[in-house]
Amino acid sequence: MTQPGAPLIDAYDAALFDLDGVVYLGPVAVPGAAEGLNALRRRGVRMGYVTNNAARPPASVARHLVELGIVCDESDVVTSAQAAARLLVDRFHSGAKVLVVGGEGVVEALKEVGLVGVHSTEDEPVAVIQGYAPDLTWEQLNEAAIAIQRGAHWVATNTDSTRPTDRGIVPGNGAAVAAVRMAVDIDPEVAGKPYRPLMDETIHRLGAKRAIFVGDRMDTDIAGAVAVGLDSLLVLSGAHRAAELVAAGPGCRPTHVGLDLRALLAPPREVTRVVNRVICRSMAAVAVEGQIRLENPPHSDEEAVDALWAVAQLGWHAGDRSNRLDPAPALALLPALA
């Protein structure tokens, strides 16, 4: 039991972090990320960096984090490529040939578990591993489709449809997986979030008993946490924002919300529900004639998050009882979180 007013992190023995949109946006750090992560480490918090992005091996990711001013070791990083390689070696054993559709992160993950990466269907691979790479080619996608048609087992590192970058939202590995799926008649086995393999591997490595997962996407990060029974913190620094939070179904709702990962160092946002009204700190959302409205406008970013949390809780409660409320009037007062 944590003390009233204690930091959110005090309720947990470890914190797991998505990277894209949570810690960095492409080559640059999310504002406050290095400060928050280093403060957590000084508190003795066990931390794991869990990424669906399979482009780079853990050592490369760790170097990037250190360059951004974050204290990190290679062993702190777990990628979806590693989880996918683990699935394959458990199924086919060391020495099996696997067609590589991806870059260095996929190649290194296969080597780590003793699998042999090949680049042609003519090498008779028993499986295909597909992960994101910035220089992915149509030739690789063609080889994947042909190998799968010939019976190779298909594993995708992840199916994120988009990726947040410092320049905007761009297509993710899911877009390339969808291209291959157009040519074959099966779906891939998926290693990354929201599926269990990546999350289970990270929890095992940390030896965590009560971890919290921090992510920026409802459909992968938060849904992945729900799938393995973890509490979660949605941060509004990446892909998903106010509209996605309010629209979230029961399988992808976060336990907490914050502007960025520094919310772990602050007290959690508590809400009070009274009939058709939800209060979060000084902000209140109320149901009026089928709409959600704010009783008072926010005057700071933190108050805007308080208001959003009240709106989300009110909307979820009503929606779960088949009484959908229109959040548009309230969200219109939260443009910074749109």
What span, in angstroms and rounded, lies between the C-alpha atoms of 271 and 248? Answer: 18
User: Residue 81 in contact with residue 32, Cβ under 8 Å?
Assistant: no
What span, in angstroms and rounded, lies between the C-alpha atoms of 175 and 181? Answer: 10
User: Residue 21 in contact with residue 53, Cβ under 8 Å?
Assistant: no
CA R_g for the chain? 21
197 exposed, middle or buried (CB, 10 Å; 0-12, 13-18, 19+)? buried
Task: State yes or no: is 73 an active-site residue.
Answer: no
Strand, coil or helix: 299: coil
Q: How far is CA 207 from CA 43, 48, 229, 268, in A?
A: 18, 11, 15, 24
End-to-end CA distance of the chain: 35
Choosing from 13, 18, 123, 231, which is the catalytic residue?
18
What span, in angstroms and rounded, lies between the C-alpha atoms of 58 and 174? Answer: 21
User: Residue 239 in contact with residue 30, Cβ under 8 Å?
Assistant: no
* Element containing residue 207 per DSSP (H, E): none
Cis peptide preceding 194, ω within 30 of 0: yes
Strands 153-156 and 162-165: unpaired
* Element containing residue 156 per DSSP (H, E): strand 153-156
Choosing from 10, 13, 20, 160, which is the catalytic residue?
20
Task: State yes or no: is 18 an active-site residue.
Answer: yes
What span, in angstroms and rounded, lies between the C-alpha atoms of 162 and 87? Answer: 24
Strand, coil or helix: 281: coil
Strands 153-156 and 189-190: parallel
Supply the residues annotated as catalytic: 18, 20
